[in-house]
């Protein structure tokens, strides 16, 4: 009978946790990737957008911009939603996001424009549309 020590069990458990952490979708190419929480999409028709936050922060910071390119300070503090999306009527929020995202892509000449649906709604992303 092999002797199973507590230390051995802890070691295996740590390896398991590290493996899960490495495989988690937030760590795509070691960049911080976030999903968009406002608005909540009840009946998705497209794959969920996975937003590469680190890359975008690096871009604005390289141009002496800051978080205010995408976030507002409100009476309740820093808003993690995109700009004024919460202030839009519910049925206008997706259109508002489409414009907020692609205006900068057009102006900067980087990132997908509105006709490049699959650059944002990538098929390889979590296929939320299939979990209707
Ligand atoms: C180019 C746009 C952009 C810039 C610049 C930006 N963010 Fe974000 N940020 C987003 C988007 C999009 C989300 C997801 C919005 C949502 O959940 O609805 C987000 C979400 C967040 C969240 C919530 C994270 C989570 O896990 O959901 C935090 C915290 C945050 N941003 C902080 C910052 C800070 C601090 C800066 C400046 C250093 C910054 N952001 C710059 C677009 C941006
Ligand atoms: C302030 C300007 C700005 C805003 C606002 C912005 N982007 Fe971008 N985006 C960029 C730039 C610049 C790139 C190219 C980054 C690079 O290649 O390093 C980019 C690249 C991308 C890409 C290409 C793939 C990738 O991850 O590099 C996607 C997808 C994308 N943006 C999605 C979004 C979405 C979704 C939003 C709105 C929530 C958004 N962007 C808002 C500037 C912006
Ligand atoms: C610059 C990135 C970007 C591009 C390009 C883009 N979208 Fe979106 N779209 C978003 C974001 C961000 C959301 C809201 C968050 C989410 O759906 O994960 C969204 C939401 C949606 C939704 C509502 C949610 C759903 O799954 O039903 C539809 C429909 C949609 N987009 C269709 C399109 C179509 C069609 C195109 C091409 C003509 C397109 N989008 C191009 C970023 C983009």
Q: For the chain, which residues make up each domain, given as ranges?
A: 26-129
Task: Please work out whether the CB of residue 102 comes within 6 Å of at least one atom of ligand 3.
Answer: yes
* CB-CB contact of 29 with 112 (8 Å): no
Nearest to 48 by CA among 25, 70, 30: 25
Ligand 1 binding site (Cβ under 6 Å of any ligand atom): 34, 36-38, 51, 53, 56-57, 60, 66-67, 69-71, 80-82
Nearest to 97 by CA among 57, 61, 51, 64: 51
How much of the chain exceeds pLDDT 70, in percent?
A: 70
Nearest to 81 by CA among 93, 89, 91, 92: 93
Q: How many helices (H) and strands (E) does the chain have?
A: 4, 4
Q: What share of the chain is helix, strand, coil (3-state, %, to 5)?
A: 50, 10, 40
Mean pLDDT for 106-128 is 87
pLDDT, one tens digit per residue, over 48-93 is 999 999 999 999 999 999 999 999 999 999 999 999 999 999 999 9
pLDDT band at 26 (very low <50, low <70, confident <90, very high): very low
> What is d(CA 52, CA 78) in angstroms, rounded to the nearest whole number?
20
> What is d(CA 17, CA 102) in angstroms, rounded to the nearest whole number?
38
Q: Residue whose CA is closest, atom 16 of ligand 2?
A: 55
The fourth-level CATH superfamily of domain 26-129 is Cytochrome C3 (3.90.10.10)
Instruction: Kindly give the pairing relationship between strand 50-52 and strand 77-78.
Output: unpaired
What pTM, to 2 d.p., does this model score?
Answer: 0.86
In this predicted structure, what is the pLDDT of residue 131?
47
């Amino acid at each position: 009978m092999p002797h199973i020590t507590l230390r051995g069990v802890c070691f295996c458990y740590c390896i398991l946790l590290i493996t899960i952490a490495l495989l988690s979708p937030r760590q795509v190419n070691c960049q911080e990737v976030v999903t968009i929480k406002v608005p909540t999409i009840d009946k998705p028709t497209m794959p969920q957008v996975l937003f590469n936050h680190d890359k975008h922060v690096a871009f604005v910071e390289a141009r002496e911009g800051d978080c205010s390119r995408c976030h507002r300070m409100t009476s309740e503090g820093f808003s993690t939603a995109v700009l004024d999306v919460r202030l839009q009527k519910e049925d206008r929020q997706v259109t508002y996001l489409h414009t907020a995202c692609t205006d900068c892509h057009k102006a900067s000449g980087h990132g997908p424009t509105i006709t490049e649906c699959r650059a944002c709604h990538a098929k390889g992303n979590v296929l939320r549309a299939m979990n209707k």
